[in-house]
């Protein structure tokens, strides 16, 4: 049985078999991270491959302190954010007033599975999706998000709030539609 430390050492020496084993071990988890920040599966795959190129070329920079998986995850997120920045150099402001606040029946949450929720998150406007994922899923602070995305801390908070309202609205719509069809 090969340990993570042995795989890291093998990768630092540029050995292909170590790189292959490391990729096989972590690619599925890191693909999930990449997919959350990407427009589609193709972009997520591209981000994942680019991340592993960076991981293998920068593996000497991993100090052994902290989680190796966390270190790799950060590389994936940074590459996804860079792609996002390139895609959205000119920001458009979406009219969020179309998402009025509605109350959601708690029964809706009982019927909403993780896959449906991830799909709703994926459908958020790109900037809101990015902030929501960074904050709610990956645990970044608003200060960190502001630095990463080149926005104000208040803008990060506002984007998170708007993302949540949009999600609540869409969850309400799902519950409403399910209620209508169950009659």
pLDDT digits (tens, 9 = 90+) for 56-87: 999 999 988 889 999 999 999 999 988 887 87
Show Cβ contacts of residue 99 under 8 Å, excluding neighbours closer than 6 positions. Answer: 162, 165, 166, 169
Q: How many CB atoms lie within 10 A of CB 144?
A: 15
CB 52 within 8 A of CB 69: no
d(CA 112, CA 99): 20
- Considering the entire predicted model, what is its pTM? 0.66
Per-residue pLDDT reduced to its tens digit, 84-134: 878 765 444 444 444 444 444 444 445 567 788 888 888 999 889 999 999
CATH 1.10.10.10 residue ranges for the chain: 96-181
Architecture of domain 96-181: Orthogonal Bundle (1.10)
CB 92 within 8 A of CB 126: no
CATH 1.10.1740.10 residue ranges for the chain: 4-87
Q: How many CB atoms lie within 10 A of CB 33?
A: 23
Q: What is the length of the chain?
A: 183
- The reply to whether CATH 1.10.1740.10 applies to domain 4-87 is yes
pLDDT for the residue 111:
57
Q: Encode 91-122: b = buried (16+ Cβ within 10 Å), e = exposed.
A: eeeeebeebeeeebeeebeeebeeeeeeebbe
């Amino acid at each position: 049985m090969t340990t993570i430390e042995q795989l890291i050492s093998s990768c630092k020496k540029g050995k292909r078999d170590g790189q292959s084993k490391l990729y096989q071990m972590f690619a599925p988890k890191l693909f999930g991270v990449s997919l959350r920040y990407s427009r589609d599966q193709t972009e997520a795959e591209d981000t994942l491959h680019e991340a592993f190129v960076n991981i293998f070329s920068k593996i000497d920079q991993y100090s052994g302190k902290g989680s190796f998986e966390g270190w790799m995850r950060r590389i994936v997120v940074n590459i996804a954010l860079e792609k996002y920045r390139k895609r959205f150099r000119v920001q458009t402001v979406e009219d969020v007033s179309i998402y009025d606040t509605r109350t959601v029946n708690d029964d809706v949450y009982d019927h909403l599975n993780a896959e449906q929720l991830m799909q709703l998150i994926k459908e958020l406007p790109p900037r809101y999706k990015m902030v929501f994922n960074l904050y709610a899923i990956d645990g970044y602070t608003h200060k960190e998000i502001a630095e990463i995305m080149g926005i104000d801390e208040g803008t990060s908070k506002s984007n998170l709030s708007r993302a949540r309202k949009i999600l609540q609205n869409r969850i309400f719509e799902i519950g409403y539609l399910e209620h209508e069809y169950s009659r």
